[in-house]
Structure 1
């Protein structure tokens, strides 16, 4: 399941991606327009900045901008940053694999194969979904 933290990060990134790329966006604007608690959003934006998704500037023309091309930012990157493992079971995780404590051997586990298929299908969707595609979809829905 995706956390609220991850959903808010995606909403903020999509919001910024929809703006003029030369314009810095204030956290207060994102908070108001996307209905995200300001303090929570500030922590999320800091983490996105530390992970190089965003740059920020202080002052009169301050705010946040994307640091990466939205065509190159995938859902999988943001979800892993905000929530960690994507797999439903630790024994099928690619990045965060841990042995399952209820199985004697992963190779003979009958449910593991199904969860590998779910993981692979999910990862494929996340890999091909970009920030740009989500921003375009949001623009169409806003018309």
Structure 2
């Protein structure tokens, strides 16, 4: 599946953090109905991508490290799942057994690649603050 639950929850985490100085994982979980183990996994990936910043200690928690006006759904989804292809044969890490073998062309591969490109274009077209209805 292209847009996983983890990708969906990553956007929810960012929505919870929008406009906040710092939130604990429990506060994020309460606001967005996410379990703590799942939230920690997502926050770790978002932190690695530089989208959020984590703080340790008694007053620890998380805050946005990037403005939601400069992020797109594509960037968030990519931070969570860098191998987000609608079908395995589009991933450059996997070889399409039907495309390019003996000079042959897989027309299905070609069509799905166009669909993949269009989907990525659509995920990149609006900043996340607009998608979340935080700005006009």
The answer to whether the superposition gives a TM-score over 0.5 is yes
Higher mean alpha-carbon deviation, 8-17 vs 83-92, is at 83-92
Q: Which digits, 9 at most, give the CA deviation of each residue in 1:80-123, with x for residues without a partner?
A: 22122233234434xx4532124435761121221022111101
- Corresponding position of 1:10: 11
Runs of 4+ in 1 over 4 A off after TM superposition: none
User: Is 1:121 aligned to 2:122, yes or no?
Assistant: no
- Cα distance in 1 for residues equivalent to 2:120 and 2:126: 10
Unmatched runs of 5 consecutive residues or more in structure 1: none
Task: Say what the alpha-carbon RMSD is for the aligned residues.
Answer: 2.4
- Corresponding position of 2:109: 112
Counterparts of residues 46-125 of structure 1 (less than 5 Å): 46-59=44-57, 61-93=59-91, 96-103=92-99, 104=101, 108-125=105-122
Number of residues of Structure 1 aligned to a counterpart in Structure 2: 134
| Residue in structure 1 matching 2:23, options 25, 30, 35 | 25
Compute the TM-score of the two structures, normalised by the length of structure 1: 0.79
Q: Which digits, 9 at most, give the CA deviation of each residue in 1:44-66, with x for residues without a partner?
A: 11221122111122355432111
| Residue in structure 2 matching 1:35, options 18, 22, 33 | 33
Compute the TM-score of the two structures, normalised by the length of structure 2: 0.82
